Structure 1
Amino acid sequence: MTERMPRPHAAGDGEVPVFLPDGVEAPAGLVEAALGYEAALMADDLESLAEYFAPGPDTLRGDEGGLLVGHDTITRFRGRRGGAPQRRIEALHVRPIDDDHAWLAAVTAPLGGGRGLVGQLWERRDGAWRISAAHVSAPPRAMDPRVWRVVGDPLLGPTGSGPLDGHTIAVKDVIAVEGFALGAGVPAYLAGAAPAPRSAPVLDALRAAGASVRGIAQTDQFAYSIAGRNAAYGTPPNPAVPGAISGGSSSGPASAVAMGHATIGLGTDTAGSIRIPASYQGLWGLRTTHGAISVDGVLPLAPSFDTVGWLTRDGETLAAVTRAAFERMPQQRVDAVRLATAALELPALDAPALVLAPALADSATPEVTRAFAAGLDALRSSGGRVDVLDDDALVAGALDELYEAFRTVQAAEAWAQHGSWITAHPGALGEDIAARFAWAASVTADAEAAARERLAVARTALDAALGDAVLVLPSAASVAPPVDAAGAEIEAIRAATLRITTVAGATGRPALSVPGLMAGGAPIGVCFVGPRGTDLGLVERAQEWATALKHG
């Protein structure tokens, strides 16, 4: 039986068809509550919406971005998203369970086109109907502009066959793709860019091994951020932690891989831009040895530290990409380092992994410190030897010098690369990136020179302390912060995280973020920093370490 009940809703007054099984009546007040909730949603009435959802930690709301658990989490999500897309209710299907519980399915018609579906479990508490669980299915997107700038099926096919047959690549929008302009996450920069005459050699190497290009993925503006928030295009979703930032600046490739849109994220890492999104989203991510992979065709940020790297969902794929890239890259570019294909012999779990206690105490949040300590215990219980550097004071001082000198040199080089364009295009950048470049513009030549001297001293001290050992650290100082975290909070997390990540950036060492730990219900990566030129050996050994972390 179909019952038609006139009810007002946000798109205007009209009749909403309400469908029930034959002989079944809708519980009193339920349909009114459902349509009242819809009206509040369309009006972005946050106070009323909070009342419509059942209180307590067990309330659920899911959509394409993942599952939100708890009334407070759901309320916070609503407050930061700026309202829901306008829609009409086309039909409401009611399936009563008992006098105080019912399942509702609403067919929605977004004003922008398409059809969606909302499923809700309602329960009556103290005479009022409230939602205890909901799932929202929006019309499928052709492309999520937060993740992709352009996408194809494929965008570019493979040029050969090999170990990457069937794999797809999300290319960070600072790496040249033949026939497409490079945008660097900045609409005005994209508007003035010409199509690239050829792809970056690293992309050519992966295509020669059998991979195709799925598309060009978004990045933080000029890759000068580790947050993943882009003022022009939005924040790519983090499927591992719904409502949290994705991490940057390889944010688009990371999200594309985490969501299953691509199997390989091709990105860059200057100060942690691969390792941090890998940590936040539970991915594998490798920053290669500085200078080991050509950066031709890659938009520079700070050439003294810029590297190319990749993200994957598993270690086997990461190893295959690493092997393919090094085997197919011009070898004259890695004369100064040991080739990854002739990697240092590292005895599986017997190799000493050294943890810098000051970095943990001073930089990581307590929940990350606890999770990381548990990870070290898992390595030890699996037969691994985890040593602590004898001279903590030396290392702590070196880290302080490293961070301050690194950020100064990075800023000076970033301004040298992009300052002229930024000066000629006022207002083109988001507030956070504009502020970072404004500080970069203030770095004097004397300050840069002094920072380079300090950087060399700190690098020498760390090289002497580490030798050929593998350093183990948290990949980031915290789990992924909420999307609506204040700018000051993001900056504090950035400073704490960079104090850890710049160890690899400033020493030019390869660094690999491995998933396996959880902190506060969110993933946190373990970072293994190896001797220069040992990229492939590091990836291969880390697969054993990851097994130990998983079973610890």
Structure 2
Amino acid sequence: MLIDDDPVRAFIDYPDVPVANAADGPLAGTTFAVKDIFDVAGYPTGCGNPLKRAEAKPATEHAPAVAALLNAGSRFVGKVHTAELAFSLDGVNSHFGTPLNPAAPDRVPGGSSSGSASAVAAGLVDIALGSDTGGSVRGPASFCGIVGLRPTHERVSLANVMPLAESLDTGGWFTRDLDLYERVAAVMLGEDVAGPPLTRMIVAEDAFANLAGDPEATALTPALDRLKAAFPDWQSVILAPDGLASWQQAFRTIQGYEAWKAHGPWIEARNPPLMEGVRGRFEIARQVTDRQYRTAEAQRESARDRVLSVLGDDGFIVVPTFPTVAPRLTASVAELEKFRNYALMVMCIAGLARLPQISLPVATVHGAPLGLSLIGPPHRDRALISLGRIAMGEDRDGP
């Protein structure tokens, strides 16, 4: 790492290789870290697994997302830990250690972009790259009290990035505030597609019903009230008529099938050391049949059609990012897996629909952060980010 100290154990102690960045640009004066599934020229890509790290040779070129930040003037200061093979929502890594959650040190940082969120929340870097398949940017953002976006699918290039589930994987980033988030968005996303202002607010009633209890609902109420005041014609809908549980199952089927396709041959050939929870997920993934995958794909298209019909071209959907705050570090593997399944009930919505979702640090409950999320139409990511100011109480001019 190219910084002096790492009190939250976010960075990987790779040999320091200087990485050139532009002398000026829209992100000049900022620093960034990179989740260890993105290639950085001169560095190995270890993917959170000891055998992967041992087998990895230094990359010869940057992933496009890394190059974009460097070309915009941001300075690379190191690669950060990821949950094993990016297949986790909690961020625990027993191989290399779990990065600290600076906002709630007795709780997990979230995964799989654990080191990225930890480094940003601790103020060690201004920006960190992460990836989001089932919630690996949105979740750590909620857990650590920072900003994180799952972009529209394929809007951020994932060339030279380890895949998990190809049709669900997205590339994202973290910052501590919306001002910088918007500056990074201009670099990473380019211009939004044309469309009307996002002024039609929809509250996903079934997503809020998934909250763990009254404390969580009460904590999110001020941010929700700010949005309702700004958009007085808001409406409430049941987003999944057949139940969010059915959407979650379709998501898990697709993710499992594609994760085994990406990593199964290597696992069978190399028998790598895998953490208990990760090994269990791959064992389930191994058993998903072609027929089950095709059925889940049909369910995905139905879910996408439903969400797009609710959104139109001028709407945005409000959901809690997670049902509650981060689990404690003392949680068992079984408890973490239960939490993951519970959380995916809401996290799967944007993933199935291939839509942008931003998690905003708006609340604290049980002594830990809890995020509120906005989901928008495809390729309207930057318009969605700007709405975050209202939820966070930073808007001065109204929608």
TM exceeding 0.5 = yes
Q: Work out which of the residue numbers 111, 115, 139 in structure 2 matches 1:248.
A: 111
Three-state SS of the structure 1 residue aligned to 2:295 is helix
Report whether the alignment pairs 1:238 with 2:101: yes
1:294 is aligned to: 157
2:85 is aligned to: 222
Letter in 2 for 1:370: T
Assess if the C-alpha contact under 8 Å between 2:31 and 2:126 holds in 1.
yes
Letter in 2 for 1:223: A
Aligned residues: 393
Question: For 1:302-381, what aligned pairs fall within 5 Å after superposition?
Answer: 302-327=165-190, 339-340=191-192, 342=193, 344-346=195-197, 351-381=199-229
Assess if the C-alpha contact under 8 Å between 2:14 and 2:43 holds in 1.
no
Q: 1:520 Cα deviation (Å)?
A: 2.0
Q: 1:218 Cα deviation (Å)?
A: 0.4
Q: Work out which of the residue numbers 490, 508, 519 in structure 1 matches 2:336.
A: 490
Question: For 1:26-425, what aligned pairs fall within 5 Å after superposition?
Answer: 142-143=5-6, 146-150=9-13, 155-327=18-190, 339-340=191-192, 342=193, 344-346=195-197, 351-382=199-230, 385-389=233-237, 392=238, 395-397=240-242, 399-425=244-270
1:134-163: CA deviation from partner (whole Å, max 9, x where unpaired): xxxxxx985468411136888423135211
- Structure 1 434/480 Cα, relative in aligned 2: closer, same or farther at 3 Å? same
Assess if the C-alpha contact under 8 Å between 2:264 and 2:286 holds in 1.
yes
Which has more strand, going by share of residues? 1
Q: Work out which of the residue numbers 420, 432, 436 in structure 1 matches 2:277.
A: 432
1:485-511: CA deviation from partner (whole Å, max 9, x where unpaired): 122221222112111111111111111
Q: Could you tell me the TM-score, scaled by structure 2's length?
A: 0.93
Separation of aligned partners in 2, 1:512 and 1:466? 15
Q: 1:385 Cα deviation (Å)?
A: 4.4
Letter in 2 for 1:256: A
Three-state SS of the structure 2 residue aligned to 1:322 is helix
Assess if the C-alpha contact under 8 Å between 2:277 and 2:337 holds in 1.
no
Separation of aligned partners in 2, 1:180 and 1:154? 7
- Structure 1 504/254 Cα, relative in aligned 2: closer, same or farther at 3 Å? same
Q: 1:433 Cα deviation (Å)?
A: 0.5
Report whether the alignment pairs 1:477 with 2:319: no
1:211-243: CA deviation from partner (whole Å, max 9, x where unpaired): 011100000011001101012012110111121
- Structure 1 343/151 Cα, relative in aligned 2: closer, same or farther at 3 Å? farther
Identity %: 36
Assess if the C-alpha contact under 8 Å between 2:304 and 2:354 holds in 1.
no
Q: 1:427 Cα deviation (Å)?
A: 4.8
Structure 1: state its 5+ residue gaps: 1-139, 328-338
1:525 is aligned to: 371
Q: Could you tell me the TM-score, scaled by structure 1's length?
A: 0.68
Three-state SS of the structure 1 residue aligned to 2:33 is strand
Q: Work out which of the residue numbers 373, 383, 386 in structure 2 matches 1:537.
A: 383
- Structure 1 146/353 Cα, relative in aligned 2: closer, same or farther at 3 Å? same
Separation of aligned partners in 2, 1:203 and 1:298? 10
Separation of aligned partners in 2, 1:362 and 1:318? 28
- Structure 1 322/512 Cα, relative in aligned 2: closer, same or farther at 3 Å? same
Assess if the C-alpha contact under 8 Å between 1:160 and 1:207 holds in 2.
no
Report the RMSD for the aligned CA atoms in angstroms: 2.2
Three-state SS of the structure 1 residue aligned to 2:392 is helix
